[in-house]
């Protein structure tokens, strides 16, 4: 076989695949290749993305445990998956003129305060993805604290927490499309469902699963949510307070 230069890493290759980076010998892109890529990315149920999507829906702890224990190639990148799903939610909200974090219910007779809250709302909605990552950090931290005798570290627990939070954004997408996302009762129901989903998925990491572990997971999740909401409330209060000075 004639040698060639890998266009990905620059190494000289004398086989079908580059021994340096693993890329296949470059060929001109054809319609057949485009079709194969579309099939493997969207339709092929063996694709990492669809496999991750499916099992996060029916058996999330399977994804968490297998990924943490080394089956990384089998599933989609947790960070990339989370960013994609969160971006989808934000895009659907934009198309339907839905405000994900709505502070309009915080009515005030002070025009300056209303202006500051409106600015704060815009900032928060533009930083949703970093905020979800921060929420995953809090959840992972409290999980590590209540399960400190288990083998998983904070860094390892961050991935299940992030996948759990981001995957539930698909439920938010459905609520947005149905036009019920901003309803107060829907918000309460969504919060309860998200806590239930997190308990179900995250407790399964710590084998064998028991009632005591469900309780510990619940405590960690509620603590993470409480700290997150307190930090959010503190920022809102600070903006309101300093705008009135």
Tens of pLDDT, residue by residue over 24-44, are: 766 656 777 777 666 665 555
Note whether residue 211 is domain-resident. Answer: yes
Residues facing 13 on adjacent strands: 4
**What is the rounded CA–CA span in Å between residue 106 and residue 45?**
46
What's the token pair of residue 31? Answer: 């319609």
Question: What's the pLDDT at 41?
Answer: 55
Note whether residue 194 is domain-resident. Answer: yes
Counted domains in the chain:
1
Domain hosting 226: range is 78-243
Question: What's the pLDDT at 157?
Answer: 95
Note whether residue 35 is domain-resident. Answer: no
Task: Please return the burial class of 150, using the count of CB atoms within 10 Å of its CB with bins 0-12, 13-18 and 19+.
Answer: middle
Note whether residue 121 is domain-resident. Answer: yes
Question: What's the pLDDT at 72?
Answer: 84
Question: What's the pLDDT at 114?
Answer: 67
Note whether residue 60 is domain-resident. Answer: no
Question: What's the pLDDT at 26?
Answer: 64
- 10-residue mean pLDDT profile of the chain (245 residues): values are 68 74 67 68 66 94 92 89 94 92 64 69 83 93 94 94 96 95 90 95 93 95 90 66 52
Question: What's the pLDDT at 208?
Answer: 92
Note whether residue 109 is domain-resident. Answer: yes
**Cis bond before residue 240 (omega within 30° of 0):** no
Note whether residue 53 is domain-resident. Answer: no
Question: What's the pLDDT at 242?
Answer: 55
């Amino acid at each position: 076989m004639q040698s060639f230069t890998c266009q990905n890493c620059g190494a000289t290759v004398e086989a079908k695949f580059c021994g340096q980076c693993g890329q296949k010998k470059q060929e001109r892109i054809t319609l057949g290749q485009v079709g194969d890529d579309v099939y493997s990315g969207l339709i092929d149920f063996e694709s990492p993305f669809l496999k991750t999507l499916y099992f996060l829906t029916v058996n999330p702890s399977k994804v968490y445990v297998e990924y943490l224990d080394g089956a990384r190639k089998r599933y989609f990148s947790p960070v990339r998956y989370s960013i994609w799903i969160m971006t989808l939610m934000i895009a659907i909200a934009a198309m339907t003129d839905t405000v994900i974090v709505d502070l309009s219910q915080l009515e005030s007779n002070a025009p300056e305060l209303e202006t500051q809250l409106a600015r704060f709302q815009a900032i928060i909605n533009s930083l949703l993805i970093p905020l979800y990552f921060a929420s995953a950090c809090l959840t992972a931290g409290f999980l590590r604290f209540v399960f400190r005798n288990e083998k998983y570290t904070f860094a390892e627990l961050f991935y299940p927490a992030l996948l759990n939070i981001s995957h539930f954004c698909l439920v938010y997408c459905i609520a947005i499309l149905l036009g019920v996302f901003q309803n107060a009762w829907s918000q309460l129901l969504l919060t309860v469902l998200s806590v239930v989903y997190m308990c179900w998925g995250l407790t399964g990491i710590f084998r064998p699963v028991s009632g005591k572990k469900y309780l510990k997971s619940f405590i960690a999740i509620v603590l993470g949510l409480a700290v997150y909401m307190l930090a959010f409330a503190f920022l809102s209060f600070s903006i309101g307070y300093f705008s009135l000075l």
